[in-house]
Amino acid sequence: MDTEGLSKGEQTRREIIAAAHTLFVKQGYHGTSMREIAKTAGLALGGIYNHFATKEDIFRAVFVEYHPINYIFPALAQAHGESTEALLRDIARHIIAGLKEDPDFINLLSIDIVEFQGSNASSVLRTRLPALEGVYRQIVSASSNDLRPIPPLIFLRSFFGLFISYFMTGYILNLAPELPDEINQNAFDYFIEIFLHGVLSDTGTHRGGKNL
Q: What is the pLDDT of residues 18-38, one digit of tens each?
A: 999 999 999 999 999 999 999
Buried/exposed 102-127: b ≥16 CB within 10 Å, e otherwise = beebbbbbebbeeebeeebbeebeee
Per residue in 134-168, pLDDT tens? 999 989 988 877 888 999 999 999 999 999 999 99
Q: Are 112 and 120 in contact (CB under 8 A)?
A: yes
Per residue in 90-103, pLDDT tens? 999 999 999 988 88
Backbone φ and ψ of 207, nearest 5°: -105, 125
Tell me which CATH code domain 8-53 carries: 1.10.10.60
Buried/exposed 5-44: b ≥16 CB within 10 Å, e otherwise = eeeeeeebbbbbbbbbbbbbbeeebeebebeebbebbebe
Residue 4's pLDDT is what? Answer: 63
Rounded CA separation 90/87 (Å): 5
Residue 141's pLDDT is what? Answer: 87
Q: Say whether pLDDT at 105 is over 70.
A: yes
Q: Say whether pLDDT at 113 is over 90.
A: yes
> DSSP secondary structure string, 44-61?
-HHHHTTT-SSHHHHHHH
Q: Where are the domains of the chain?
A: 8-53, 66-197
Q: pLDDT band at 2, cuts 50/70/90?
A: low
Q: Say whether pLDDT at 208 is over 70.
A: no
Tell me the β-bridge partners of 210.
Answer: 207
Residue 142's pLDDT is what? Answer: 81
The per-residue pLDDT of the chain, averaged, comes to 89
Residues 6+ apart with CB under 8 A from 29: 55, 59, 111, 115
Mean of pLDDT values over 1-9: 70
Rounded CA separation 105/62 (Å): 10
Per residue in 160-207, pLDDT tens? 999 999 999 998 888 888 889 899 899 999 999 999 999 988 655 555
Rounded CA separation 187/193 (Å): 10
Q: Say whether pLDDT at 65 is over 60.
A: yes
Q: Are 52 and 61 in contact (CB under 8 A)?
A: yes
Residue 13's pLDDT is what? Answer: 95
Rounded CA separation 30/132 (Å): 33
Mean of pLDDT values over 42-71: 95
